[in-house]
């Protein structure tokens, strides 16, 4: 039997923690095998939850600490809380090779800073990038950077293209990465100097890992003609928040329209399966689990407000990045 995948879990981060975290582990453990969870947090609270969710003691161990990083902490104040917070201990276990990846739904800035303090960058990568999965008409997109770097050089964007493509291959081995740069137009002359320089480099050099497909505009992200979309963190974060807001608006308005009148209620009953599939396609919990690319270990950020289903999906992302040899794929393609 192969050695189990070991996932370090910050149990105390995010809304409704550690309840949703332990419930998420329970969900994930039922759909995956040969996984062990190193759980960091308050044992007096966590252990009864493992009993409630009927977790086998063979698949987890708890490292007790009653010190936590608060949601309102700045990244610096979180780091100054010391090395005994659940977040720091979880990342430290990754540093010591006691775990294969770490997931936390806690403070994003703290996760970034403490990870960078403890873990090494992959050689030749200057900046890490936050990447996540977005649905499209034809499958899934990898989009990065989503906010880790406000300003980027053309080298950073080239690195992001390689890292994002390696992530896509790690998660979906049968997919061919097709890279595009997020821009204000599809014409070669559009955009600032940095994005033009990046375009020229990617267009003039052949990469074994991915195909380069030029520029993409925001309104075409969901079309699925490309599957790795690269931007600086400022642009990417605005695109992410706009997409999330639009998705929430559509779902809430559809609910209101179908529940406000008798005809709407009858229509919703007649189209129950279609509406269920539509809602599932836009359910952000199913795409939960952003990856901080560029570090030499997998660091996964679960959305702080997600529930147990969303947290379970972030654990699944952890599992896939390890099985897909994400870090090695990035290193191989950089060299």
- What CATH number corresponds to the domain at position 179? 3.40.718.10
Q: Do residues 243 and 162 both lie within one domain? A: yes
For the stretch 201-257, pLDDT in tens is 999 998 889 999 999 998 898 888 999 999 999 988 888 888 777 777 877 777 776
Which of 129, 104, 55 has its CA nearest to residue 288? 104
Q: Do residues 74 and 103 both lie within one domain? A: yes
Residue 89 lies in a domain: yes
Number of domains the chain is built from:
2
**Residue 122: DSSP 8-state:** P
Q: Do residues 209 and 246 both lie within one domain? A: yes
How confident is the model at residue 5, as a pLDDT?
A: 95
Q: Which residue has the higher pLDDT, 243 or 33?
A: 33
Can you tell me the mean pLDDT for 36-56?
Answer: 96
Residue 34 belongs to domain spanning: 1-125+294-335
How confident is the model at residue 258, as a pLDDT?
A: 67
Residue 160 lies in a domain: yes
pLDDT > 70 in the chain, percent: 91
Q: Do residues 332 and 279 both lie within one domain? A: no
Residue 139 has pLDDT above 90, yes or no: no
How confident is the model at residue 48, as a pLDDT?
A: 96
Sign of CA dihedral 97, 124, 80, 36: negative
Residue 136 has pLDDT above 60, yes or no: yes
Residue 175 lies in a domain: yes
How confident is the model at residue 278, as a pLDDT?
A: 56
Can you tell me the mean pLDDT for 38-67?
Answer: 96
CA 88 to chain centre: 19
Residue 289 lies in a domain: no
Q: Which residue has the higher pLDDT, 20 or 3?
A: 20
Distances (CA, A) of 100 to 15, 75, 92, 181, 322: 25, 24, 11, 31, 7
How confident is the model at residue 282, as a pLDDT?
A: 60
Residue 274 has pLDDT above 70, yes or no: no
Residue 12 lies in a domain: yes
How confident is the model at residue 178, as a pLDDT?
A: 96
Q: What is the mean pLDDT of the chain?
A: 88
How confident is the model at residue 210, as a pLDDT?
A: 93
Q: Do residues 105 and 165 both lie within one domain? A: no
Residue 150 has pLDDT above 60, yes or no: yes
Q: Do residues 204 and 276 both lie within one domain? A: yes
């Amino acid at each position: 039997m192969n050695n189990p995948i070991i996932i370090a879990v910050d149990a105390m981060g995010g809304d409704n923690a550690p309840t949703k975290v332990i419930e998420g582990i329970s969900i994930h453990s039922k759909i995956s095998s040969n996984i062990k969870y190193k759980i960091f947090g308050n044992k007096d609270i966590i252990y009864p939850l493992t009993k409630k969710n009927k977790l086998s003691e063979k698949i987890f161990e708890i490292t007790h600490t009653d010190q936590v990083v608060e949601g309102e902490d700045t990244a610096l104040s979180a780091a100054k809380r010391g090395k005994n917070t659940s977040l720091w201990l979880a990342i430290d276990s990754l540093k010591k090779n006691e775990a294969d990846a770490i997931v936390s739904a806690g403070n994003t800035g703290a996760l970034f800073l403490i990870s960078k303090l403890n873990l090494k960058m992959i050689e030749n990568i200057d900046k890490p990038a936050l990447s996540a999965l977005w649905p499209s008409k034809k499958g899934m997109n990898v989009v990065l950077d989503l906010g880790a770097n406000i300003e980027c050089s053309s080298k950073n964007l080239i690195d992001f293209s390689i890292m994002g493509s390696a992530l896509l291959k790690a998660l979906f081995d049968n997919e061919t990465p097709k890279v595009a740069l997020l821009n204000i137009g599809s014409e070669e002359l559009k955009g600032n100097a940095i994005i033009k320089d990046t375009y020229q480099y990617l267009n003039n050099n052949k990469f074994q890992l991915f195909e380069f497909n030029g520029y993409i505009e925001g309104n075409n992200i969901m079309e699925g003609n490309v599957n790795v979309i690269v931007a600086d963190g400022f642009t990417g974060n605005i695109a992410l928040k706009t997409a999330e807001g639009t998705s929430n608006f559509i779902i809430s308005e559809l609910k209101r329209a179908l529940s406000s009148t008798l005809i709407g209620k009858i229509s919703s009953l007649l189209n129950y399966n279609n509406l269920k599939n539509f809602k599932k396609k836009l359910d952000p919990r199913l795409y939960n689990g952003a990856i901080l690319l560029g570090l030499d270990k997998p660091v996964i950020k679960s959305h702080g407000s997600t529930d147990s289903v969303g947290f379970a999906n972030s654990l699944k992302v952890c599992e896939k990045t390890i099985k897909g040899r994400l870090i090695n794929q990035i290193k191989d393609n950089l060299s």
